Structure formats: structure tokens, C-alpha cells
Amino acid sequence: MNAEIALDIQGLSKTYRNKRGIDDITLQVARGDVYGFFGPNGAGKSTVMKIIAGLIKPDRGHVRLFGHDVGDQYELAMSQAGVLIEKAEAFEYMSGRRNLELAARLYPGLPKTRIDEVLELVGLAASGREKVGHYSLGMKQRLGIACALVSKPKLLILDEPTNGLDIESMVEVRELIKRLAAQERTTFFVSSHLISEMEMICNRIGILHEGKLIREGGMAELLQESGQSLETYFVAQLRIEREGARHESAAVQYH
Amino acid sequence: MNLLLSSTINEWTKLRSRKKTVFFLALIALLPFLGLPAVMKLQGGFGIAAIAGSDYPITVLNLLASFVLPLLIFMSAADMFSGEFGDKTIRSVLARPVSRFKIFFAKLIAAFSLVAAGLLLGWISSAIASFFLPHADGLPRALAESALAHAVTALPLFAICAAAVVVAMFFKHASGALAICILVYAAAKLLGFVLPQYAAWLPTAYMDWHELWIGSAATAGRIATVFSYLLGCGIVLSTLGYCAFDKKEV
């Protein structure tokens, strides 16, 4: 068990009834990394995120958080992680503060001031007592981030965290990620289909395409490889993938 | 254990934050008083005590156990299980350092504690209301008996609660789960009239089993048999519900 590895994914596969899913994903996220999990819509990012959070079970493979297996030691594995999957889903008939209280109650020893801290952090201090049903989409997303942050997790798993946010809030979330990574050495595993966003906040990146991890590496390394931007690099990688698939299919037909 | 308790408090908090829960609890508290004018009119019409004050809490209990509390159970089970999976709020519950086993039983305990609160409220309210009716001697004894009757009614309601959870696990929306729970319950009740020999196999046939406790006709053996049956039903159905909950992906 390597204490410096925050997230360890080994041979993760999951196939849905419609034959889509993920295939043999293996990656590691070191402590303090801001790991960008990039891929177009439908690439399988949320599937990986959901397996990490224990919301769905994989067909094969395993996930370890700080050395604890999500399948066998769920409580231990999740005790140091905060999660936001897809759009934030809060209980709309309760206030934002009450939603945070529900989350905070599951972490013994958390100071009572923590709820005020996170409300302040995500800019919801003034509307904390309002019912979530009255929140805008952006406010709900910020509440989701607050719920993920409330336990002061060492690892934050954020699936498309800037979804539904206006430009100002997107910048704020990016700044928050950078700040927490730098000051508190919080590890991030962030998914997005916006490559420019990944470029701005991540130091490592994994590129997912049609359920497969096609490339993984340090951001600086990939940018150097691409020569231009990550966007150009991604398009080039896709072409290589498609070309390879075409050759394989032609070879099968020939035989 | 602490996480189970914290999760139960969370589930209870969610339940009591819903307006319909508050409405139902208010209805349970007011029902004995709302029924008083009708009972008094009945008394006047017959010129005799049709329902004595000492019997009133049991009369109210029969109404609560057969209609109001099952409806409260179905509504809570539909919201806590199908509803949370349907609107995906269950994700914010599951993606926490609490096992699904604890989350499931926290929900079940919270739903059952709501029923217990309804029974307690119903007893207190009907006991107070009974003072407005003419009563023979021995009211304290009648109130003690009615307290026992309310307490033992919790068992068949626990079995109904577990059954409602199993049904709710098959639905993605609370409204569908609620409608089917009501239909299944109504069908089971109807079976009691049409084919009573088969209905005896269903927990719905024992909603009035408190009569065994307060009457003198039933033997201890009969009480033990029904008790074991209802407890067994509750345990088996809870286990089935947990298995479905554990496998559910969201």
C-alpha cells in the first residue's frame, strides 16, 4: 500500500446493456495531483466516477482510495473523499444549510463552524437558509461542491464541476481547486469535456475515448508533445485511434 | 453504530421536513376530535352509549391501523426509496462513508419510527378525546389496555413497512410506487373478505391483532404464533428490501 497514491484504479471494466461502458481502465493519482479526466460526452467519464463513489459496481477491476478498496472497505475508503457526480442533487424541500448539516453529521468530529466556512467558500453564505428549490442551477452546483467539501476531504472527485455555472462562477471554482491543491494539498480527480478547462487547472491528464483510456501523462509533457494546444493534441490522438480501428477492421475482413 | 444513528437522524430530518408528513401527523392528532361530533350524534340517535369513552381509543386505533398509518407508510417508503432513486438525491446519501446496509436500515428505522410516533400521537389524542364521551367505570384500566393495543399494533405495521419498501424498490418514481402500494394493500384487504382462508397468510390480515391482547378469548399460544409470523414477515421482507437496495445502481 503506497500512502502517496490517493486513487488507484486497476483494470476497471463495466459494460451496460446497450454495450457501452468502459474497458480496462488503469490509472493512478498521486497525493497532491490535480488529475484531469478528459473525454467527449459519452466517453465513460461518469461511469468511472460512479464506480469510484460506489454508486455502481464494476464488472471487473477495483478501485482503492488511500489504499482502501471501495468494494470491500467502503466506509474507510470514502472517509477521506468528497464526491460530486454529474449535477448536484440536493433535497429541494430543505435549505442549503440543512442539506450541508445532513452531510456533516456523517463525519464525527467536524467543527460546527465548518458549514459556515463552506457556505462562505462557495458564495452561498447569504442564501444558506433559503430552500434549495428556489436556487438557480449555478447555486445548486455550488451547493453540490460545498457538500463535497464539507468533510475537508483529502481527495475530491468532481464530475463536471463547472456544469451549469456562469463564467464568473466557473473561474471561482477553478481558483478554488487551485487554492485547495496548493494550500491544503488536496488531491483532485476532475472530469470535464472542456479541454481548455483541464489545461488551466490540471497537472496530469487522462484522455478517455469510447470507454478506453487512450493517453495519460503530465500536462507539461502532453503540451510539449502536442507542440500547440491540448485541443490539437486530442484531435490528433482521435485520428490515430480511428485509423488504428479502421486497419484492424480491414484486416479482419481480409482474413 | 454512530453512523447508523447519524444516518437515522438524517432520514428522520428529511421525513419531518416534508409538508405531507406534518399534515399526516396533524391529521392523526386531530382525527379523534374530528370523529367526536359523529359519535355523539350517534349516541343521541340511539339514546344509548353506542361507543363508550373507554372504547373510543380502540375504535380510533382500528381506523388508524387500517387506513391512515398504512397510507403514511406507503408515502414514506415511496419517497425514501423510489423517490430518492428517481430524482437521484440518493447519490448524495450513498456517496458518503456509510455502507448501504446502514443507509437501508437507517431509512427503515426512520420510517418505522414515524409510524411509532403516529401511534403514540393517536393514543394520546384519542385518550384525551375519550373524556368527552360518557364512560363507565374503569377508564384508567381501559386507557392502559388501549396503550397496550397501540404498542402491539406496531408489529403488523412494521411488516407492512418492510413490504412497502420491497414494492418501492421496483419503482423509479414515488408516485408509481405509492399507487401500487395502495392497490396491493387494497387487494390484500379485499382478499380477506373474499377468500379469508388465503388472506390469513398475509400480514394485512393481522392489523387488528391487538384485539388478541386486550380480549380474554385468545390464548398465549395463539398470540405467540401470530407474533412469530409477523416478526418473521418483517425480517424476511426487510432482508429482501436490503438485497434490492444493495444491488440498485444509480
DSSP string over chain B: -HHHHHHHHHHHHHHHHSHHHHHHHHHHHHHHHHHHHHHHHHHHHHTS-SS-TTTHHHHHHHHIIIIIHHHHHHHHHIIIIIIHHHSSTHHHHHSSSS-HHHHHHHHHHHHHHHHHHHHHHHHHHHHHHHTTS---S-HHHHHHHHHHHHHHHHHHHHHHHHHHHHHHTT-SSHHHHHHHHHHHHHHHHHHHHH-HHHHTTSGGGGTTTHHHHHSSS--HHHHHHHHHHHHHHHHHHHHHHHHHHHH---
Provide the CA B128 distance to its chain's centre, in angstroms. 21
Please judge whether B92 and A147 are an interchain contact, meaning their C-beta atoms are less than 8 angstroms apart.
yes
Question: The dihedral of CA A151, A155, A160, A166: what is its sign?
Answer: positive
Place of cell 399460544: B221
Chain A residue numbers touching B7 (CB-CB < 8 A): 106
Class of domain A1-80+153-217: alpha beta
For A126, other C-beta atoms within 10 Å of its C-beta total 9
For A171, other C-beta atoms within 10 Å of its C-beta total 13
In chain B, where the domains are located: 2-247
- For residue A201, give the nearest of A1, A37, A89 by alpha carbon: A37
CA B30/CA B116 separation, integer angstroms: 17
* Partner A contacted by B137 (CB < 8 A): no
pLDDT at A130: 96
Of B87, B89, B96, the CB nearest to A106: B96
Task: Please give the helix or strand (H or E) that residue A178 lies within, else none.
Answer: helix A167-183
* Partner B contacted by A78 (CB < 8 A): yes
Query: Which of B13, B92, B94, B102 to mutate to probe the A interface, most A CBs <10 Å?
Result: B92
DSSP assignment string, A73-86: -HHHHHTTEEEE-S
CA A244/CA A250 separation, integer angstroms: 10
* Partner B contacted by A24 (CB < 8 A): no
A206, HSE (Cβ side, Cα atoms, 13 Å) = 22
Please judge whether B98 and A106 are an interchain contact, meaning their C-beta atoms are less than 8 angstroms apart.
yes
Is the Cβ–Cβ distance between B31 and B39 less than 8 Å? no
pLDDT tens digits for A201-212?
999 999 999 999
CA of A131: which chain B residue's CA is closest?
B17
Chain A residue numbers touching B6 (CB-CB < 8 A): 105-106, 108
Average pLDDT, chain A: 89
The interface pTM score, or ipTM, of the predicted complex is 0.87
Of the pLDDT bands very low, low, confident and very high (cuts 50, 70, 90), residue B136 is low
Whether the pLDDT of residue A1 is over 60: the answer is no
- For residue B146, give the nearest of B120, B113, B115 by alpha carbon: B120
* Partner B contacted by A133 (CB < 8 A): no
Distance from CA of A102 to the nearest CA of B (A): 6
In chain A, where the domains are located: 1-80+153-217, 89-146
Least trusted range by pLDDT, from A65-69, A181-185, B138-142 = B138-142
pLDDT tens digits for B1-20?
699 999 999 999 999 999 99
* Partner A contacted by B92 (CB < 8 A): yes
Mean pLDDT on A214-239: 81
Whether the pLDDT of residue B51 is over 70: the answer is no
- CB contacts < 8 A, A to B, total 75
* Partner A contacted by B197 (CB < 8 A): no
Mean pLDDT on A107-121: 93
